[in-house]
Amino acid sequence: MKFIKTAVFASLASAMLAGTAIAQDKTLNMIVIEGGDTTALQAVADAYTAANPGVSINLQPYPFAQFFQVAELRLRSGDAGIDLVYVDAPLLAAYASRGFLSPIDASVDTSSLVESALAAGQYDGTQYALPINNSAQVMFYNKALFEQAGITPPEGLTAGETASQAEVDDLAANKRWTWEQVADAARKMTVSEGGRISTYGFTVEQFGELYQLQPLGESLGTDVVAADGVTAAGYLDSEAWTKGATFWHNLYNEWNVSPKALGYGEAAQLFGNGQLAMMVGGTWNLPGLTASGVDYGVAPFPYFEGGKVLTPTGSWYVGINAASANQEDSLAFAEYLTTTAEGTKVWFDSLQQLPTYKPLLEEISTDASFDAFPNNVFRLGVYDSLNTAKARPVTAAYGQLQDAFRTAFVDMANGVPVADALASAVQKFEAAAARVAQ
């Protein structure tokens, strides 16, 4: 741990020094996460600087495991060596409430952006960040395992078939499986050999995470916390959340159809190896699962019978550091990245993440290149982003909420009674939120 902190501060100091050496040709510095996101942002930056020769964009990438710590440290210190900030949607309120981000100028035309995504970039009625892309959750199912079990799989999108946006809309609106159907099929398809489970019926990709599990309670009518962002009593421990959490508890205990404590990427690995019948996960799994050779289909994200269809949403945003001396130039690049046809297309072509730019969503809906599988899965994302997506709660104590929620749902998977786990989560979050508000 000491070595990691030393490395972070050394990297931080180097970046801060580099950020002070801004040349006359307007260099803009942006902190991002390493990997595909940096590659995509570099492609957009190259396109932008080609059209704006007086500006250069300097990306400062950090590993995902360090990024949030570094961003917090640099923003809190008022580091003017950052102009643009890569912002994870639920952390927007924590940044904005402490004055880390500049409000987005009201003159920026955001009418081309998906409303739910735009709203997640707001705090206390003010826009503080613009959405770069969105996310979509779907249910992957192993066709061969369903056939072996003699069970009819959910209707979905599969290889060798095409689907128009109208056909995908019908699938999402009228043929979506319920969680009750998922549980029934999962119980029938979980296989034990020699006292050990060799094939699991179902799992979620992100074990215990609020992002994926928020619809369990909210689709039944109750938000995870109150609108004030600090009250969880009567919400996270409500009848709706008790029912949703009981379903989660049963997956791991009464029914024993889901593997416990999966790490990052392990659910997709199980699915690709043919050891998992169904998995709720992000569309970012499409390339890997296709490459694995598993014969799979994709169905819409489930819902509870009698409940409302709600789906996870939200991803990365771009914000402007309040300490930056390059406010106008930073805003111009943020606009290009998020609200122009060229900027959003370069980003999508590079990263293949669901856009929030409505004209590009329209292209996905109508262009023939998205008719075939797996490209047509993005059309499920289009439908859900416009009809069923529900943003995570806006609260300056989101990190504390996420921690309390994760602890409770991991505990329930390991057998802790639902009422006890939810009560503990309420107490833990409200105490932490009170400290944040001080």
**CB count, 10 Å around CB of 393?**
23
Average pLDDT, the chain: 92
pLDDT confidence of 23, banded at 50, 70, 90?
very low
122/96 same-domain check? yes
What pLDDT does 68 receive? 85
At residue 321, φ and ψ (nearest 5 deg) are: -60, 125
Q: What is the pLDDT of residues 299-341, one digit of tens each?
A: 999 999 999 999 998 889 999 999 999 999 999 999 999 999 9
DSSP-derived 3-state class of residue 362: helix
Q: What is the pLDDT of residues 247-280, one digit of tens each?
A: 999 999 999 999 998 887 899 999 999 999 999 9
82/40 same-domain check? yes
> Residue 376: inside a domain, yes or no?
no
- DSSP annotation of 105: P
pLDDT confidence of 369, banded at 50, 70, 90?
very high
Residue 437 has pLDDT above 80, yes or no: no
16/158 same-domain check? no
- At 130, which amino acid appears? L
* Cα–Cα dist 217/213, whole Å: 8
User: How many residues belong to the chain?
Assistant: 438
**CB count, 10 Å around CB of 55?**
18
- Omega before 374 within 30 of 0, i.e. cis: yes
* Cα–Cα dist 214/393, whole Å: 9
> Residue 57: inside a domain, yes or no?
yes
Residue 7 token pair: 């490395």
> Residue 373: inside a domain, yes or no?
no
178/275 same-domain check? yes
* Helices and strands, number each (H, E), in the chain: 18, 15
430/351 same-domain check? no
- DSSP annotation of 79: -
17/114 same-domain check? yes
As for how many domains the chain has, the answer is 2
> Residue 388: inside a domain, yes or no?
no
Q: What percent of the chain is helix, strand and coil (3-state, nearest 5)? A: 50, 15, 35
pTM of the model: 0.84
Start-to-end C-alpha separation, the chain = 29
Q: What is the pLDDT of residues 81-126, one digit of tens each?
A: 999 999 998 899 999 999 999 999 999 999 999 887 898 899 989 9
Please say whether the beta carbons of 157 and 168 come within 8 A.
Answer: yes
117/215 same-domain check? no
> Residue 374: inside a domain, yes or no?
no
Helix 358-366 to helix 165-174 angle, to the nearest 10 degrees?
100
* Cα–Cα dist 141/296, whole Å: 6
196/284 same-domain check? yes
Domain hosting 431: range is 137-312+397-437
Could you tell me the CATH number of the domain that includes residue 78? Answer: 3.40.190.10
**CB count, 10 Å around CB of 13?**
10
What pLDDT does 21 receive? 39
Q: Which residues pair with 28 in a beta bridge?
A: 57
Please say whether the beta carbons of 285 and 205 come within 8 A.
Answer: yes
> Residue 264: inside a domain, yes or no?
yes
112/92 same-domain check? yes
305/262 same-domain check? yes
> Residue 379: inside a domain, yes or no?
no
291/142 same-domain check? yes
Please say whether the beta carbons of 236 and 406 come within 8 A.
Answer: no
77/117 same-domain check? yes
- The stretches of 340-417 forming alpha helices (DSSP H) are 341-351, 358-366, 377-387, 398-413
> Residue 381: inside a domain, yes or no?
no
* Cα–Cα dist 222/260, whole Å: 27
pLDDT confidence of 350, banded at 50, 70, 90?
confident
